[in-house]
């Protein structure tokens, strides 16, 4: 073993590729700790005050070839058991790294499809997976309204951003132009996009109906459903900020089977052979449409509620599966839910009142506030974070939903105006 290999990299370990600030990183660290595994974090956070980031491997994600070489050099001589990409933006790099190490991974093409919505739509259409009608359009065309023939209402969205950023429903030409300009400004501020991802967007048929989230894991190409979350609040736009996730689902057995079949079809279309799956579907009348699918776990701290039904975290299942030891755990009938506290308006967070009252509501398990006083709040469609999360567990889903709504109703979010000084004046 080379003496140039840092000692902390020589033990058996998991390689966790994670953007700085990812909600999922801590969950994976906790899961690895419970399993007695060491973790090396790959990130851009060389000067992070979080020791796990600061002591890890530091790369530039916008230079993937250099990043891959840096990783391989840093871990030479160490015993890496699995490579996990926490977020959409690093899935491809994780797949490349695992491939070079001879570890379980999805094909690079599959990883790319899981990140690029337009490419995913093409293969889904080829494989007859039910989804909204779509077209890829130049942003300049929409902004200038040159040659576009669009049947409203539609949803326009970036090709590769996640967490509903830049996703806007529009109902007429005036709204379309304004929304396209807004997305254009948002994309111009992103440093890690390819040219096409700045210049083009998706224009999709708006599917009016209820929305659900699907969580599962793929092993040897077979999708195994863990649970389905109902989203009881209507998501009609113009923006699509999620709030309540409730499980188990109220869907019929036949609908659950249909959802499982559609996600399996999508996995086959993508070429996904292994790892976690998070999907979003819409139900219009009796038809079910796949809206999005990503090769990662659910976002935020929402994965916490999976523990109520699984008896362990989803991250533990992902880690064990990546090492060839897929858990046989099935989801129990425990009713649980989470309320993702939305950012109400742009400004500076002053305080959140009513937390003590909310915590006293029957069936409320925990309230986790993520953003602190003084934080600049940016709502959708530009923002990508929540104020925090409210968790509940109860004998049935109706009691869970009632508890979450009552707890959220106790909160008063005080926001101060944001005053920015123009340095050029």
| CATH code: domain of residue 63 | 3.40.50.20
Secondary structure letter of residue 88 according to DSSP: G
Distance, in Å, from the CA atom of 35 to the CA atom of 61, rounded to the nearest integer, reads 28
H helices present in 323-363, as ranges: 355-359
What are the CA-CA distances from residue 370 to residues 202, 303, 361, 413 (Å)? 31, 15, 20, 13
- Helices 24-34 & 314-322, crossing angle to 10 degrees? 70
pLDDT attached to residue 11: 64
Q: If you count them, how many residues does the chain have?
A: 425
Kindly report, residue by residue over 325-351, the tens digit of the pLDDT: 877 777 777 899 999 999 999 999 999
User: Do 216 and 311 lie in a common domain?
Assistant: yes
- Choose one of 148, 172, 205: the last residue of a domain: 205
- Helices 253-270 & 108-115, crossing angle to 10 degrees? 120
Task: Give the list of residues 6+ apart from residue 301 with CB closer than 8 angstroms, or none.
Answer: 23, 27, 338, 368, 370, 389
The candidate with the shortest Cα–Cα distance to 366, out of 391, 387, 394, is 391
Contact 280, 298 (CB under 8 A): no
User: Do 122 and 247 lie in a common domain?
Assistant: yes
Secondary structure letter of residue 202 according to DSSP: E
The answer on pLDDT for 422 being more than 70 is: no
**Which residue has tokens 């900020």?**
241
pLDDT attached to residue 110: 93
pLDDT attached to residue 47: 66
| Rounded (to 5) percent helix, strand, coil in the chain | 35, 30, 40
User: Do 242 and 360 lie in a common domain?
Assistant: no
Positive/negative CA dihedral, 272, 273, 275, 280: positive
- Choose one of 293, 314, 333: the last residue of a domain: 333
pLDDT attached to residue 350: 96
pTM for the complete prediction?
0.91
Kindly report, residue by residue over 84-118, the tens digit of the pLDDT: 999 988 999 999 999 999 999 999 999 999 889 99
User: Do 122 and 240 lie in a common domain?
Assistant: yes
The candidate with the shortest Cα–Cα distance to 352, out of 381, 386, 325, is 386
* Mean predicted confidence (pLDDT) in 135-163: 88
User: Do 212 and 328 lie in a common domain?
Assistant: yes
User: Do 375 and 283 lie in a common domain?
Assistant: no
Q: Domain residues for 223? A: 118-126+208-333
The candidate with the shortest Cα–Cα distance to 307, out of 386, 249, 391, is 391
| CATH code: domain of residue 365 | 3.30.470.20
- Choose one of 289, 312, 333: the last residue of a domain: 333
Kindly report, residue by residue over 375-404, the tens digit of the pLDDT: 999 999 999 889 999 999 999 999 999 999
User: Do 100 and 192 lie in a common domain?
Assistant: no
Kindly report, residue by residue over 251-284, the tens digit of the pLDDT: 999 999 999 999 999 999 999 999 999 999 999 9
The number of domains in the chain is 4
Task: Give the list of residues 6+ apart from residue 161 with CB closer than 8 angstroms, or none.
Answer: 186, 190
């Amino acid at each position: 073993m080379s003496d140039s290999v840092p000692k902390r990299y020589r033990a058996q370990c998991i390689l966790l590729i994670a953007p700085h600030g990812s909600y999922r990183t801590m969950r994976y660290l906790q899961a690895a700790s419970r399993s007695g595994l060491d973790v090396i974090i790959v990130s851009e956070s060389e000067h992070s005050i979080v020791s796990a980031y600061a002591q890890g491997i530091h790369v530039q994600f916008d230079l993937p070839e250099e990043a891959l070489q840096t990783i391989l050099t840093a871990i030479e001589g160490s015993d890496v058991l699995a490579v996990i990409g926490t977020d959409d933006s690093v899935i491809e790099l994780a797949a490349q790294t695992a491939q070079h190490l001879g570890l379980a991974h999805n094909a690079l093409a599959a990883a790319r499809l899981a990140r690029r919505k337009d490419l995913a739509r093409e293969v889904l259409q080829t494989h007859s997976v039910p989804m909204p009608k779509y077209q890829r359009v130049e942003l300049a065309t929409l902004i200038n309204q040159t040659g576009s023939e669009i049947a409203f209402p539609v949803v326009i969205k970036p090709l590769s951003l996640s967490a509903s950023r830049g996703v806007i429903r529009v109902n007429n030409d005036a709204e379309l132009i304004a929304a396209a300009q807004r997305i254009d400004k948002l994309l111009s501020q992103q440093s890690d996009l390819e040219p096409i991802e700045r210049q083009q967007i998706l224009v999709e048929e708006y599917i009016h109906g209820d929305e659900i989230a699907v969580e599962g894991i793929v092993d040897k190409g077979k999708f195994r459903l863990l649970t389905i979350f109902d989203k009881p609040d209507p998501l009609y736009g113009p923006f699509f900020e999620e709030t309540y996730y409730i499980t188990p689902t109220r869907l019929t057995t036949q609908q659950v089977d249909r959802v499982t079949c559609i996600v399996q079809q999508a996995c086959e279309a993508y070429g996904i052979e292994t790892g976690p799956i998070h999907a979003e579907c819409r139900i219009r009348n009796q038809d079910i449409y796949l809206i999005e699918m990503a090769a990662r776990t659910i976002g935020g701290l929402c994965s916490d509620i999976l523990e109520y039904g699984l008896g362990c975290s989803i991250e533990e299942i992902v880690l064990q599966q990546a090492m060839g030891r897929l858990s046989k755990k099935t989801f129990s009938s425990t009713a649980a839910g989470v309320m993702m506290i939305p950012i109400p308006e742009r400004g500076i967070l002053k305080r959140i009142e009513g937390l003590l009252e909310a915590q006293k509501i029957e069936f409320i398990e925990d309230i986790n506030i993520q953003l602190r006083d003084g934080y600049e709040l940016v709502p959708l469609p530009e923002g990508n974070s929540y104020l925090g999360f409210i968790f509940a567990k109860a004998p049935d889903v109706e009691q869970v939903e009632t508890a979450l709504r009552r707890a959220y109703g106790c909160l008063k979010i005080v926001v101060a105006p944001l005053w920015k000084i123009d340095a050029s004046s």
